[in-house]
Structure 1
Amino acid sequence: MSSVRNLSRRAFLARSALIGCSVAASPLLTPVSFAAAPWDTRLVVIVLRGGMDGLDVVQPYGAPEFAALRANLTSGVNNGALDLDGFFALNPALAPLMPLWHREELGFVHAVSTPYRDKRSHFDGQDLLEAGTPTLSGARDGWLNRMLGQLPGVEPRTAFAIGHGEMKLLEGPVAVADWAPDADLEISPQAMQLAELVMQDDPAFHAALSEAMMLTGSGGGAGRGKPHVKVAAFAAEQLRGDTRVASFSINGWDTHRQQGRNLNRALERLSDTILTLQSGLGPEAWGKTAIVAMTEFGRTVRINGTGGTDHGTGSAMVLAGGAIRGGRVLGDWPGLEEADLYDRRDLMPTGDVRAPVAWLMRGLAGLDRGSLQRVVFPGLEMADDPGILR
């Protein structure tokens, strides 16, 4: 369904005017008109829920310990992985993204994590990732919402939280729009004709009805097919217009068993998503877009008894888009000797996952460093600019 927090009286009346429309499923909670944001770049944040194994996605095959640690997984360039820079290789399930790498529109940051440590709970890890704070104590809103609060001219349509799952990183006092695929108006053709007749003399109400049909897919706006492709297609459609921020999740990264098969499926969804965004945005908007995909924690460096990996600490983040200066694997590589590991079991995080995102915000929307470190990501030390943007 589609909705906008902080519903106005007029939007409520517009929604109520639809005869036969299911109140719970009505998409008319979106504003009738929107103001363009005062910046022209786009930011897409994808939460990879379940704990992505960064060591399998961006494989450090040049590390002498890697082959022995991952002996039961088909890793490395001799097993189909795609060489990136002579040290790191890309999981072959992401092969469709290699043209972006060669155009320097795809990059990675390795050995990063949130401040979360040791307990390795999906729920707490994801909550902290979306809160963007050092701890969960007192966290009441998400870092994307706090970012919007630092910018002028923000309207609900400026940012979209997309999908069926809750997107806590957009929760907060700044109103944003919501949409989920396969929303159903539950309205008959006769009721639709009556609604159009009632609204024909009110341009604002008629616009709201037209938008409702578009959001539910009746106008073809959301696309058809796999849910993650629908989400990406809808996001791209909005980002071609006034929307400047979109966020959604991709599930399926909890690879405790049969990692080779299960991770490939998740990576294929991620690849589909990025390429759908690229094609849907078109060259002009794609050139102004930065996509960041991040996860709550990584996984153990050693394989468990069921051919998978358990909850860990350090992982990798994915960067894509025409605004990204890619073709690089960023980050301070910690090594894979046992003494180099976190708790002698996990990839040691050498960077805060929030810092690259803060630098993206600074470059895309012009936020000052003080606001980013105090308000958007409290307690963050951004360190030096890694030069993520073109």
Structure 2
Amino acid sequence: MTTRRDFLKGTCATAAIGAVGGPSLLFSNSAYAAANGHDTVVHLFLRGGLDGLNLVVPIDGADRGFYEQARPNLAIAATGTYGALPLTLASGAGTGFGLHPAASGLRDLWNAGHLGIVHACGLLTSVTRSHFDAQLYIDLGTPGQQGIGSGWLARAMNAQPNLSGTEKIPALGVASRQPAGLLGSVQALTMGSPSDFALNAGAWSWQKIRPDSPAGFKGLNETLASLWGGSTPLELGGQRADSALKVVAQQTYAALPAGWPTSGFAQQLWTIAQSIQFNLGLHYATLDLGGWDTHDSQGTAGSGYHYYQNKIAELSQALSAFYAALDASGHASRVTVVVQSEFGRRVRANANGGTDHGYGNPVLVLGGPVNGRRFYGSWSGLDPEILSPHFGDVPVTTDHRRVLSEILFKRMGHTNLTPVFPGYGGYAPMGLVRDFGTLAKPAPALQQRLRAAGAPSRPSPSDEPDLIERLVQYAKELID
């Protein structure tokens, strides 16, 4: 028989385990405690201008009629085999919107409460139909200004609070060259693929010391590493490069797991997932998925080949696999993914079976910290009279920096956002994500015990070790 004393001993043991394995056991709604003691933000840029109206589709009401009128041959059906996947609230009530039928993975994340969508988001203060200008404004975090010389992710990393200095890869760009968002950070690593991240120029046998190398042999890698002993900018850069090569080489990066999609994009997400799981101190990661410039032959949904349908399937399947992998390893509760494009596309289809450059667009936010299964922002509707002052486009009603600012403030610990987004003063939380350390509200009985132990109502990361100690002491007192 289990006695009250045994139960309290178990409670004390649980608190002690939490002190070793991670205090998030007390507050997380996940089946696992996050292995990392910090959050990670993953920024996914859909380059080319995502057609947001055919991803997040109006399925009823007046907007459905306006949508069908504007896109007689490109409209996603509201129902049927290839109809939009309805998005409902937790209550079961309809939202008036659905997802493209190829986005079943995203729909499942929505239903599980891990996906939120911000309506009509984008560059609120700078209107442009140039891919290059719009992308750079978002990468730099300075709409209308391109000469700042650093990206918003780099500035967020450079100003990141509570870094210990022991982080091996605090920021990662999964790309063949440094992403513009990471310009200005010497801590960021750019890596297209772990298997290709090596110095492998010249003859294979000369590259590095191998088991069958002659005695006393020194390869190119070892020779270069020995040259970086000084303090000149070149030598310091060489030291960082050599350190990065060694860190990546020491990790057990593996091939795609069984059941994962096999696209190059999925492989990049798998690289990020593993980098999070290796506990390398990864706070920021970024990657791209291009190919969204659908001026012609865009396609809709159905049997046979549909370009846009294939792109949505690629996006949805990879993000679903990414979340599942992090959830299974106990990391999802501290990872937030932001999915955005430089602008949306016109409401009205063109004569070439496609859509031209537009303005407002949905931004997807997914992850364990997200207050999902909700829409955020302001939706103006598709009435032509509303769209007319905006040249027939969906207007932007939410600055994309408002979304990023909330995540940086609530999840990453930034209390001063000016260094990250200079000149922006529009921080106003929408409730997109929960505060760090408050992933789920404890049950009333546990709340009383927490208060008795002197716990803060909203524990912060700095409170957690002390809180664990107080809980252990409180449990001991109850036992005695």
- TM interval, shorter chain, is 0.7 to 0.9
Compared CA separation, residues 157 and 126, structure 1 to 2 (3 A): same
State the match for 1:183 in structure 2.
Answer: 196
State the match for 1:356 in structure 2.
Answer: 403
Compared CA separation, residues 90 and 195, structure 1 to 2 (3 A): same
3-state SS of paired residue (1:46): strand
Give the AA of the match of 1:351: T
Compared CA separation, residues 209 and 385, structure 1 to 2 (3 A): closer
Determine if the alignment matches structure 1 residue 80 to structure 2 residue 83: yes
Distance in 2 (CA, whole Å) between partners of 1:75 and 1:43 is: 32
Distance in 2 (CA, whole Å) between partners of 1:180 and 1:112 is: 29
Compared CA separation, residues 94 and 366, structure 1 to 2 (3 A): same
Identity %: 30
Q: Give the deviation of 1:193 after TM superposition.
A: 7.2
Q: Give the deviation of 1:339 after TM superposition.
A: 2.2
Distance in 1 (CA, whole Å) between partners of 2:350 and 2:107 is: 30
Compared CA separation, residues 164 and 268, structure 1 to 2 (3 A): farther
Distance in 2 (CA, whole Å) between partners of 1:364 and 1:290 is: 9
Q: Which of 118-127 and 40-49 deviates more?
A: 118-127
Distance in 1 (CA, whole Å) between partners of 2:118 and 2:432 is: 10
Contact 1:72 1:307 (C-alpha < 8 Å) held by counterparts: yes
Contact 1:214 1:221 (C-alpha < 8 Å) held by counterparts: no
State the match for 1:110 in structure 2.
Answer: 119
Contact 2:335 2:367 (C-alpha < 8 Å) held by counterparts: yes
Compared CA separation, residues 156 and 171, structure 1 to 2 (3 A): farther
3-state SS of paired residue (2:43): strand
Determine if the alignment matches structure 1 residue 171 to structure 2 residue 183: yes
State the match for 1:379 in structure 2.
Answer: 423
3-state SS of paired residue (2:364): strand
Equivalent of 1:293, from 317, 339, 361? 339
State the match for 1:280 in structure 2.
Answer: 325
State the match for 2:103 in structure 1.
Answer: 94
Q: Which of 80-89 and 64-73 deviates more?
A: 64-73
CA offsets 1:319-370 (integer angstroms, 9 cap, x no match): 11111111112110011112211533210111101111110111111111xx
Compared CA separation, residues 295 and 276, structure 1 to 2 (3 A): same
Give the AA of the match of 2:322: L
Q: Give the deviation of 1:221 after TM superposition.
A: 3.0
Q: Which of 259-268 and 245-254 deviates more?
A: 259-268
Q: Give the deviation of 1:312 after TM superposition.
A: 0.6
CA offsets 1:73-105 (integer angstroms, 9 cap, x no match): 141422510111331111111112222111100
Compared CA separation, residues 378 and 39, structure 1 to 2 (3 A): farther
Contact 1:156 1:177 (C-alpha < 8 Å) held by counterparts: no
State the match for 1:388 in structure 2.
Answer: 432
State the match for 1:142 in structure 2.
Answer: 151
CA offsets 1:98-144 (integer angstroms, 9 cap, x no match): 22111100121110111464441111110001111131243211111
CA offsets 1:157-214 (integer angstroms, 9 cap, x no match): 1110112254111111442111002626447775577256779xx9x99997764546
Contact 1:76 1:89 (C-alpha < 8 Å) held by counterparts: no
Give the AA of the match of 1:236: A
State the match for 1:328 in structure 2.
Answer: 374
Compared CA separation, residues 169 and 184, structure 1 to 2 (3 A): closer
Equivalent of 1:228, from 231, 241, 265? 265
Distance in 1 (CA, whole Å) between partners of 2:244 and 2:54 is: 46
- In structure 2, the gaps of 5 or more residues are 1-35, 89-93, 227-241, 300-305, 435-480
Compared CA separation, residues 84 and 207, structure 1 to 2 (3 A): same
Q: Give the deviation of 1:230 after TM superposition.
A: 1.3
- In structure 1, the gaps of 5 or more residues are 1-37
Compared CA separation, residues 168 and 211, structure 1 to 2 (3 A): same
State the match for 2:171 in structure 1.
Answer: 159
Determine if the alignment matches structure 1 residue 244 to structure 2 residue 312: no
State the match for 1:47 in structure 2.
Answer: 45
Distance in 1 (CA, whole Å) between partners of 2:197 and 2:171 is: 22
Determine if the alignment matches structure 1 residue 367 to structure 2 residue 420: no
Q: Which of 67-76 and 344-353 deviates more?
A: 67-76
Q: Give the deviation of 1:315 after TM superposition.
A: 0.7
Give the AA of the match of 1:234: T
Q: Give the deviation of 1:286 after TM superposition.
A: 1.0
Query: TM-score, normalised to structure 2's length?
Result: 0.66
State the match for 2:314 in structure 1.
Answer: 269
3-state SS of paired residue (1:318): strand
Distance in 2 (CA, whole Å) between partners of 1:209 and 1:122 is: 34
Equivalent of 1:308, from 354, 373, 379? 354
Across the aligned residues of Structure 1 and Structure 2, the Cα RMSD in angstroms comes to 2.9
Equivalent of 1:254, from 286, 293, 298? 293
Contact 2:59 2:84 (C-alpha < 8 Å) held by counterparts: no
Distance in 2 (CA, whole Å) between partners of 1:60 and 1:248 is: 29
Distance in 2 (CA, whole Å) between partners of 1:73 and 1:165 is: 36
Distance in 2 (CA, whole Å) between partners of 1:337 and 1:330 is: 20
Structure of larger gyration radius: 2
Compared CA separation, residues 363 and 300, structure 1 to 2 (3 A): same
Q: Which of 100-109 and 256-265 deviates more?
A: 256-265
Give the AA of the match of 1:238: S
Residue correspondences, number: 345
Contact 1:214 1:222 (C-alpha < 8 Å) held by counterparts: no
